[in-house]
Amino acid sequence: MIREADKYKDEDMRHRKKVEARNALEMYAYDMREFINDPDISSKISSKEKANINNATDLVFKWLDVNVVAEQQDFEHYSSILSSVFDPIVIKMIKDEGHCVQEGTMVGHPVNKKKNRWLPLLAKYCFETVYAATTGDITGIVSSVMIDFIKS
C-alpha cells in the first residue's frame, strides 16, 4: 500500500505541475492580450509588434485548445515562444521610456512619477510569470507583485 501511495503521490505531483504550467501559460497569453489592448500601451507599440503578439497568442490559444493532454515541457516550450515575442517589446518600451528629457517631465509638462512606474512592474511580473511557468512555483509571483503594488 505504501508503494502505491508513493506511486500515486509522484503521479499527482506530475499532474499538479502540468496543470500549473498550463494555467501559467494561459494566464501569460491572456496578460499579453490585455497588455496590447490597454490604450496607454497600444499607443507606444507599433502595429507590427501588436500583430506579432496577436499571432503568438493565437498560436498558443489554438495549441491549448487542441492539446489537452500535453506535458509540462510542452507548456514551457510555448511559454518560451511567447516570451521570445513579448520580452523584447517590453524591454524596448522600458528603454524608450527612460530616454525622456528629464525624469518627471514629458515634452515640458510634469508627469506623475508613479504613473511611469507601471512599466518596470509589468516587465518584472512578465518575467516572473515565465519563471513560474517553467518551475511550477507560483507563490513567488503573487507575493512579489502584491508587495510591489502595496509599496507603490
Is 140 part of a structural domain of the chain? Answer: no
| 148 pLDDT higher than 80 | no
- Burial class (CB within 10 angstroms; exposed 0-12, middle 13-18, buried 19+) of 147: exposed
Question: What are the backbone angles phi and psi of residue 105, rounded to the nearest 5°?
Answer: -130, 150
Is 150 part of a structural domain of the chain? Answer: no
Is 148 part of a structural domain of the chain? Answer: no
Q: For residue 15, what is its C-alpha cell?
A: 499532474
Nearest Cα neighbor of 25 from 68, 58, 64, 51 is 64
Is 67 part of a structural domain of the chain? Answer: yes
- Residue-wise pLDDT tens digits, 30-82: 988 888 888 888 888 888 999 999 999 999 999 999 988 888 889 889 988 88
- Residue-wise pLDDT tens digits, 93-142: 777 766 443 444 333 344 444 455 566 666 666 667 766 666 666 555 55
- How far is residue 18's CA from residue 24's CA, in Å, rounded to a whole number? 10
Is 34 part of a structural domain of the chain? Answer: yes
Counting the structural domains of the chain, the total is 1
Is the overall model pTM greater than 0.75, yes or no? Answer: no
The runs of H, that is alpha helices, within 98-138 are 118-135
What is the CATH number for 92?
Answer: 1.20.1270.10
Is 93 part of a structural domain of the chain? Answer: yes
- How far is residue 80's CA from residue 103's CA, in Å, rounded to a whole number? 33
Is 130 part of a structural domain of the chain? Answer: no
Is 86 part of a structural domain of the chain? Answer: yes
Domain of 23, in residue numbers: 1-106
